[in-house]
Structure 1
Amino acid sequence: MFDDTGRRRFLQLAGTGTAASMAGCSALSNHNGGDGSEPATVTLAVQPDQQSLQELQSEIQSRVQSGELDRMQAQQAFQRRRAELTRTAVDTFRNRTGNVSVNVDDAVARFGVLRVSGDPAALIETLSFEEVSGLFPAATFEQARAQAGTGTASSTDTPTG
């Protein structure tokens, strides 16, 4: 019902690296030609809590049915609130990085895309985090940044260490 073209387009671009990320270990362990003990840098994607997304969609649909919002307003409200939920997922991930050896180097929070670095085993471990939807090649981050139109980090898309 709601158009989320920007995020969908990013996921299509990121999908080109999915096979490598599914193989995961080989992409990370071969970083710098080492044995996997060297830090690696990858793009990590996070997504909002699915229950929160379903509740949001139901709420917006109810507002459309009641006449409070037209379709255009509904799409805008959905996209705005989904971006908020995605930023929350980014924040949740950042709060968890204290438990693993992963650094968030940069982020496009609106898309839920982070450039992270750390021990390859720790990067793989992040896949067990509820909000993490995948690991992609490091170059995917620049594609997401270009897609978002953010040549540099903004106040909501700030790097942390």
Structure 2
Amino acid sequence: MDLFPNRRRFLGLAGTGAAVSVAGCSQLDSASPTGSDGEDDSTDDGDGDGSGETLGPTSTVTAYIQPDQEDLVELQQRQLNLSRQRTELNESEYRAELEQIQQEQLELIEAAIEDFESSVEDMDALAIADSSAQMGIVLLEGTTGALIEALNEGAVDGLFPEATFRGTQPGTLP
């Protein structure tokens, strides 16, 4: 159960999706919450609480959730040290320790996603449709303003097209 090839696949797909999404940037003006009279129809009170008070179009995107960096670096350092000691360990000891480190990495990612899920429960403008703990991503639905606010506040570490999430699921082609 090696997380790195899967995460590399996700990041590759995310990069491709981000490049493709640049072509749609000119459509952002049409996604603004203006009515047919050209006036702003949003009811955002500007308090930045993401409470769902912003009317307007909703989007579904892939959100990347990163675990605590200090804990992640510690595990990566342990894995690096383990690879340096590989010749000193027998194969079963090496595999057991490697699996332990990978399990701890997965637990860190799962904890980060659970924390994010609890914070989203308090917001009406965002909802989680699906998640992939192994990849550290969630399929997030929400208003455009709430999605951008989540990114700006650091609740998510990256937003990517919905297709990025679908591309990481078993049985799908990159």
TM over 0.5: yes
Equivalent runs, 1:80-119 vs 2, <5 Å = 80-97=103-120, 98-99=122-123, 101-119=125-143
Paired residue for 2:95?
72
The structure whose Rg is larger is 2
Once residues 121 and 40 of structure 1 are traced to their aligned partners in structure 2, the CA distance between those partners, rounded to angstroms, is 10
Q: Distance in 1 between matches of 2:27 and 2:115?
A: 24
Given that 2:79 and 2:101 are in contact with CA atoms closer than 8 Å, whether structure 1 keeps it comes out as: yes
TM-score (structure 1 length as normaliser)? 0.71
Q: Is the 8 A contact 2:61 2:161 kept in 1?
A: yes
The structural deviation recorded for 1:125 is 1.2
* Counterpart check, 1:123 vs 2:162: no
- Work out the CA distance in 2 between the residues paired with 1:27 and 1:117: 21
Q: Distance in 1 between matches of 2:131 and 2:6?
A: 16
Unpaired segments ≥5 residues, structure 1: 149-161
- The match for 2:32 among 29, 32, 35 is 35
State the percentage of identical aligned residues.
32
* Stretch deviating more after TM superposition (122-131 or 48-57): 122-131
How far residue 77 of structure 1 moved from its aligned partner, in angstroms, is 2.1
Per the TM alignment, residue 70 of structure 1 is displaced from its structure 2 partner at its CA by 4.1
C-alpha RMSD of matched pairs (Å): 3.2
Q: Check whether the contact 2:3–2:134 (CA below 8 A) recurs between aligned residues.
A: no
Following TM superposition, by how much is the alpha carbon of 1:20 offset from its aligned partner in structure 2, in angstroms? 5.8
1:135 lines up with 2:132 in the alignment: no
Q: Is the 8 A contact 1:28 1:40 kept in 2?
A: no
Residues 1:60 and 1:76: Cα distance change in structure 2 (over 3 Å):
same
Instruction: Pick closer, same or farther for the CA change 1:58–1:83 going to 2, 3 Å.
Output: same
CA deviation vs aligned residue, 1:65-96 (integer Å, no higher than 9, x gap): 59598443333222221111111111111122
Q: How far apart in 2 are the matches of 1:126 and 1:93?
A: 10
| TM-score for both structures, normalised by structure 2 | 0.66
The answer to whether the 8 Å contact 1:20/1:136 transfers is no
Structure 2: tracts of 5 or more residues without a match:
34-55
Distance in 2, Cα, partners of 1:3 & 1:108: 12
